Amino acid sequence: MSERQINDPQSTPQAPASVDASARQLASARRRRFIKLGGAAVPTALTLASRPVMAWNCNTASTWGSAQGVSTGHSSYTRSRVNGTTLFSDETYTVACWVNNTTRSTLAANPWAQSPLTCNVSTPSNSTYYKKYTVAQLLSGMGATIAGISDTSDSVWRILKNDTANYPLKSGNTSTEFTRLMLTAWLNFRVQNAVLNKCLAPTSTNVLVKFGNGSYVGPTGVTWLQADVVKYLKKNYVACADDNCA
């Protein structure tokens, strides 16, 4: 319509000015709408670009390792990267949960009864079966070892219990923070695979395998020590001793 009026020789001299003013108002309105929509879209785009692979912000070992030394601190960085997102520390079972077969407010009851462990603890005759579940059973098919555990016929529960006076371990096995958290991480991975797989196994190899045999090389090119593995598992809530995760 605008072009017709401008090119129409019958139009009055005042018509183009009126049309131009109307067009400018329309264009201005469109620009304001575009900016408004764009402003709303930018935070969403940034959030999607920076959001960690897990909904609750568990980072891959590589991502977390890259964050070390950031001024905000690794815990703040890993758990609060998305502004305005409420994050929780109770998305995985703790060592205490596995020892006592107890749950947390956000998780299913009886961790040992979860698939694929399926230790039927509701039947009296099987009530303590989970205490006999071996390291070999836990790591079956994973091609994994854990430094400090040489006899995989030992009970996972005994190592987690950490009471060698009453529950002695098999020769060559130890109950250290590293072995307990590694076993807990594997247990959590087994029963919460859909979630932890995105964090621990973003590629074909589960990073827990490398953690266990001491071959994980971080983003800085340095091989992680057991203390580094422990820190990663705790700070990202993959495995914690108890609710405090300290």
- Among 15-19, 155-159, 194-198, 203-207, the range with the most confident prediction by mean pLDDT is 155-159
Residue 151: pLDDT band (50, 70, 90) is very high
Q: What is the pLDDT of residue 208?
A: 96
Res. 47 pLDDT band, cuts 50 70 90? very low
DSSP class of residue 11 equals S
239 DSSP 8-state letter: S
Q: Are 216 and 223 in contact (CB under 8 A)?
A: yes
Average of per-residue pLDDT values in the chain:
74
Domain ranges of the chain: 2-50, 61-235
**Those residues with Cβ within 8 angstroms of residue 235's Cβ, 6 or more apart along the chain or in another chain:** 64, 74, 75, 78, 79
Give the per-residue pLDDT at 20.
53
Whole-structure pTM value: 0.69
Residue 144 pLDDT exceeds 80: yes
Top-ranked range on mean pLDDT: pick from 36-40, 56-60, 86-90: 56-60
Per-residue model confidence (pLDDT) at position 226: 97
Question: Residue 81 — pLDDT band, cuts 50, 70, 90?
Answer: very low
